[in-house]
Every structure is written in structure tokens, then in C-alpha cells.
Amino acid sequence: MNSRLMLIFAGISGFFTVAFGAIGSHALSSIMSVHQMDWIEIGLRYQMLHTVALDGARGNSIT
């Protein structure tokens, strides 16, 4: 997989992580329990770590 394609995947992954986090914190917080919100937060944290790892796997500097 080339570097440009990995950057595109990392960007899409980061976008969805931020979007799902915003939806979770604003729209779902009133209808979900604290325990369920913790699950969502943990999942989003793992997704963000994988996004950073995918970007780092490109082998190029971020700048």
C-alpha cells in the first residue's frame, strides 16, 4: 500500500473518530447510560490510536 493511500485512510479514520465522538457526546449522552458512554469513549480512543499508527506506518514525517 502506498504512502498516499495510507494517508487517505488515516484521514478518513480520523474524520469518523471525531464525528462519532461529537455524535456520542452531544446526541447520545441524554439517552445512554454512563456505562454505555464509557464503552463508546474507549472504542473511540482505540480508533484514534489506530489512526495515528496508520499514519505513522507510512514511514514519513507528519510535517
Tally of structural domains, the chain? 1
CA angle, 48 then 2 then 63, to 5°: 60
pLDDT of residue 22: 94
* Residues in contact with 50: Cβ distance below 8 Å, sequence separation at least 6, in sequence order: 13
- Asked, for residue 61, whether it belongs to a domain, the answer is no
Provide the 3-class DSSP secondary structure of residue 6: helix
Chain segment 3-47, per-residue pLDDT in tens: 888 889 999 999 999 999 999 889 998 899 999 999 999 999 999
Q: Give the per-residue pLDDT at 58.
A: 80
Residue 34 lies in a domain: yes
* Predicted confidence (pLDDT) at residue 63 exceeds the cutoff of 60: no
Look up the domain containing 17 and give its range.
3-56
C-alpha distances in angstroms, 42 versus 5, 33, 61? Answer: 27, 14, 27
